[in-house]
Amino acid sequence: MSQVLKIKDLHQTFEQGTVNENRVLRGINLELVAGDFVTIIGSNGAGKSTLLNSIAGTLPIKQGQIILNGNDITKLPVTRRAEKISRVFQDPKMGTAVRLTVEENLALAMKRGQKRGFRAGVKKKDRDFFKSQLAQLNLNLENRLGTEIGLLSGGQRQAITLLMATLRRPDLILLDEHTAALDPKTSITVMQLTEKLINEQNLTAFMVTHNMEDAIRYGNRLIMLHQGRVALDLTEKEKKSLTVAKLMEMFQKQVGTEVKDDAMLLA
């Protein structure tokens, strides 16, 4: 299996040198091979979002290295990483441009990381493709290409964001608690769609979640972060027989401290 992502000794410290110094990541080492679908859990402040932001490029990296498909991308800005990395945010409003129509948003995603010129933004030949892609969401969006995204519900927007993130196949897709802001029913729909899209294109994925059930159910690898370090790294085989209770137990053993209540993990 070919290696897609390699994170070497990644550190992130906020407000370095002040009394508020906060060492959020304390040496993360990870390797992902093609097709890895990794779920990441951890309590608040464990460094999940910081890790994702470091990979996406929204946080500059002072210490450590990130290698994508053999290329060192540590110093590249977000826009330069966008060709290879796509992202779905927690807030459904974040992933789409509100005042643009459905088809305009999709057209933007079609050109992710590509050179943009003075050709038509939404091309005729793309419309059929957009329609067929939207049809598979089963949200009756295929006939609403001209609707402004802002008029759609959070779930619909998140589904479209997901589609946008996979329209042009990314080498790596980052999902940052992308179902957390949705109601339970929509959340399940979007999760199933996530799995479908990832499996169909055999994508390499990072999914941060607060939902331990989801973390166990989806993906082929589970990572738990604790205080900026990888506390647990479970393979597909180990995941199969896993339950939330077992996961809690393993976590306590690993960390060596009593976890007061699972609110800490689930919150």
Binding site for another protein (CB under 8 A): 56, 58, 78-80, 82-83, 86-87, 89, 93-100, 104-105, 107-109, 111-114, 116-122, 148, 150-151, 164
Closest CA to 2 of 262, 204, 152: 204
Nearer to another protein, 46 or 174 (CB): 174
Spatial neighbors of 139 by CB under 8 A, at least 6 apart, are 155, 156, 159
**What is the layout of strands, in order, in the sheet containing 22-33?**
22-33, 3-14, 63-68, 71-72
By beta-carbon proximity to another protein, the closer residue of 42 and 57 is 57
Q: What distance, in Å, lies between the first and last C-alpha atoms of the chain?
A: 36
Of 105 and 204, the one with the shorter C-beta distance to another protein is: 105
- Using left for φ > 0, alpha for ψ between -120 and 50, and beta otherwise, residue 222 falls in beta
What minimum distance in Å lies between the beta carbon of 31 and another protein? 24
Toward another protein, which CB reaches closer, 56 or 223? 56
Task: Please say whether the beta carbons of 239 and 222 come within 8 A.
Answer: yes
Q: Which amino acid is at 171?
A: D
Q: Which is nearer to another protein, 151 or 188 (CB)?
A: 151
Q: What's the min distance (Å) between Cβ of 184 and another protein?
A: 26
- Shortest approach of another protein to residue 13 CB, angstroms? 23
Smallest gap from residue 79 Cβ to another protein (A): 5
Instruction: Please state, in angstroms and rounded to a whole number, the distance separating the CA atoms of residues 251 and 248.
Output: 5
Minimum CB separation of residue 155 from another protein in Å reads: 17
Torsion of CA 157, 161, 164, 166, to 10 degrees: -130
State the nearest-atom distance from the C-beta of 111 to another protein, in Å.
6
* Between 56 and 212, CB nearer to another protein: 56
Q: Are 190 and 179 in contact, with CB atoms under 8 Å apart? A: yes
Cβ closest to another protein, residue 162 vs residue 247: 162
User: How many angstroms separate the CA atoms of 163 and 190, rounded?
Assistant: 11
User: Could you tell me if 29 and 52 are in contact, meaning their C-beta atoms sit under 8 angstroms apart?
Assistant: no
Residue 70 C-beta: closest distance to another protein, Å? 20
